[in-house]
Structure 1
Amino acid sequence: MPPEHPLLAAAVTALTKTSGEVPVKVRIGASLPLTEIVHRILGIDTVMFSFAISDENFHAPNEFFRLSSVSDGLAAWVQILRELAETDRDSFAPYCQS
C-alpha cells in the first residue's frame, strides 16, 4: 500500500487519537494472503487493523489475548470509521483500478 494512501492515513490518525501515540507501520503478511487476494481480484487496497500485541504469541501453544485489547480495538474501530467518513472520497480515486 502506498504510504500516502488515505486509508492508511485514517488508520494512523485513528490509532494516534485513541492511543495517544503515533503507530509504527509494519508490513505483516503472516500466513493470511487476504490483502493480496483482495487487491488482485477487487483492485482495492486494504489495511489489517488488528489489536493483537506481539508478545501474545499469536498461533503459539501459549497464545493469549489481553482483554484490554477488546475495548482498545473497539474505540479505534469507531475512530477509523469517523476518520473515513470525513475523508474526501475523491482522494481514493488514484488507488482504484478502473
Structure 2
Amino acid sequence: MTVRRTLQAVGAALAGAVSAPDAAAPPADPRAVRALLADIGLLHPRAPESDVPLTLCRFQARAGLTIDGVAGPRTVQALTRAAREARHIRSLGLAA
C-alpha cells in the first residue's frame, strides 16, 4: 500500500469519526493501521498479523492514549501525525 493510499484510507476513517460520536466510530482499516505502524518504525512490514495489537498498545502507551489495542479516532489521528513526522525526518536525511 502506498503512502498516498494509506493516508486516503486513514482520512476516510477520520472523516467518518468526525461526524460520529466516539462509541459509534468504526475502527480504522487494519491494513492502514499496519502501514502506519511500519512507517513510524514500530512494526516490521512482514511481521505476523498477531504482532499488530501489541504494537498498537505500545504506540498508545507512548502517545499517552487509552491502551486498548483498538485503532479508534484518537489513535488513528496520533498514528497519522507520527507517520507524517517520521516521513519528514527521513526526507531531511536525519533518520538512522
Both proteins in one fold, TM over 0.5:
no
The higher-RCO structure (CA 8 Å, 6+ apart) is 1
**More helix, by proportion:** 2
Query: Which of 1 and 2 has greater Rg?
Result: 1
TM-score (norm 1): 0.28
TM-score (norm 2): 0.28
